[in-house]
Amino acid sequence: MKSNNLIAIYDFEFFPYALGDVLTWNVRTAMRCEETGKSSVDVYICLDKEHPASIYQRGLINPDNFELFFNELYGAFGTNPRLGNIYIFRQRDAMLETLEEIAAKADEHNLEAINDYLAMLKDKVSDGLLRKAYNIIEQKIRRNALMKKIIQRVVPEQIQKTVGNSLSDEKRLNDYFIKYVYSHESINQFAAQKGYIPFLQPSLGCGPDIDEVIARQFKGKKIVPFHLRLRRLDVGYGGDHTYTRDSDFLEWYDFLREAGTKHPEVQFVVLGRLQEKPLEILRLPNVTSLRIYGMGLGHELTLMLKSDLFIGTSSGFAALANFSAIPYFITKMNPGSCHAYAIPEGAEKLPFANENQKLVYEKETSKLLMTLLEAGLELKETVPSAENTSISQEINIENWLKLHTNPFHSSRTTSRFYKDEKYRNEETAYLLLPYLEKAREAVENNEPETAQAILLKLKNNFSDLCNRLPEYLSLEKRIMQKAEEAFE
Q: Are residues 48 and 179 in the same domain?
A: yes
Mean pLDDT of 138-166: 46
Q: Are residues 219 and 273 in the same domain?
A: yes
Q: Are residues 53 and 187 in the same domain?
A: yes
**How far apart (Å, rounded) are the C-alpha atoms in residues 350 and 484?**
79
Asked which of 332, 347, 377 is the last residue of a domain, the reply is 377
Residue 461 lies in a domain: yes
Question: Count of domains in the chain?
Answer: 3
Mean pLDDT of 362-389: 76
Q: Are residues 288 and 428 in the same domain?
A: no
Query: Taking 50 as the threshold, does the pLDDT of residue 389 lie above it?
Result: no
Lowest-pLDDT choice from 24-33, 180-189, 418-427: 418-427
Query: Taking 70 as the threshold, does the pLDDT of residue 178 lie above it?
Result: yes
**192 or 133: which leads in pLDDT:** 192
Lowest-pLDDT choice from 37-46, 286-295, 423-432: 423-432
- How many other C-beta atoms can be found within 10 angstroms of the C-beta atom of residue 471? 17
Query: Taking 70 as the threshold, does the pLDDT of residue 460 lie above it?
Result: yes
**How far apart (Å, rounded) are the C-alpha atoms in residues 481 and 458?**
20
pLDDT at 382: 53
Q: Are residues 125 and 222 in the same domain?
A: no
Q: Which domain holds residue 450?
A: 392-488
Query: Taking 90 as the threshold, does the pLDDT of residue 321 lie above it?
Result: yes
Lowest-pLDDT choice from 251-265, 322-336, 387-401: 387-401
Q: Are residues 361 and 218 in the same domain?
A: yes
pLDDT at 281: 93
Query: Taking 60 as the threshold, does the pLDDT of residue 163 lie above it?
Result: no
Mean pLDDT of 209-229: 93
Q: Are residues 91 and 11 in the same domain?
A: yes
**How far apart (Å, rounded) are the C-alpha atoms in residues 470 and 396?**
9
pLDDT tens column, 75-121: 999 999 999 999 999 999 999 999 999 988 889 999 999 999 998 98
Q: If DSSP codes are grouped into helix, strand and coil, which group holds residue 46?
A: strand
Query: Taking 90 as the threshold, does the pLDDT of residue 243 lie above it?
Result: no
Mean pLDDT of 283-293: 94
Query: Taking 70 as the threshold, does the pLDDT of residue 331 lie above it?
Result: yes
Q: Are residues 169 and 56 in the same domain?
A: yes
pLDDT at 59: 82
Query: Taking 80 as the threshold, does the pLDDT of residue 127 lie above it?
Result: no
Residue 325 lies in a domain: yes
Residue 384 lies in a domain: no
Q: What is the CATH number of the domain that holds 349?
A: 3.40.50.2000
**How far apart (Å, rounded) are the C-alpha atoms in residues 275 and 262?**
29
DSSP-derived secondary structure for 389-423? H-------HHHHHHHHH--SSTT-S------SHHH
Asked which of 149, 170, 194 is the last residue of a domain, the reply is 194
The mean of the pLDDT values for the chain is 85
Based on the number of CB atoms within 10 Å of its own CB, is 368 exposed (0-12), middle (13-18) or buried (19 or more)?
Answer: middle
Residue 350 lies in a domain: yes
pLDDT at 297: 97
**How far apart (Å, rounded) are the C-alpha atoms in residues 457 and 450?**
11
Residue 201 lies in a domain: no
Mean pLDDT of 242-271: 91
**How far apart (Å, rounded) are the C-alpha atoms in residues 315 and 362?**
16
Query: Taking 50 as the threshold, does the pLDDT of residue 167 lie above it?
Result: no
Interhelix angle 421-444/448-461, rounded to 10 degrees, is: 170
pLDDT at 66: 95
**128 or 379: which leads in pLDDT:** 379
Query: Taking 70 as the threshold, does the pLDDT of residue 2 lie above it?
Result: no
pLDDT at 237: 64
Residue 184 lies in a domain: yes
> Residue 74 pairs with which residues in a beta bridge?
none
Task: Give the residue among 46, 113, 26, 84 at the shortest CA–CA distance from 323.
Answer: 26
Residue 363 lies in a domain: yes
Residue 383 lies in a domain: no
**% of the chain with per-residue pLDDT over 70:** 83
Mean pLDDT of 123-145: 54
Cα separation of the two ends of the chain: 96
Asked which of 128, 162, 194 is the last residue of a domain, the reply is 194
Q: Are residues 299 and 167 in the same domain?
A: no
**How far apart (Å, rounded) are the C-alpha atoms in residues 30 and 323?**
12
pLDDT at 17: 95
pLDDT at 426: 87
Query: Taking 70 as the threshold, does the pLDDT of residue 159 lie above it?
Result: no
Q: Are residues 144 and 216 in the same domain?
A: no
pLDDT at 130: 53
Q: Are residues 119 and 244 in the same domain?
A: no
Q: Are residues 183 and 267 in the same domain?
A: no
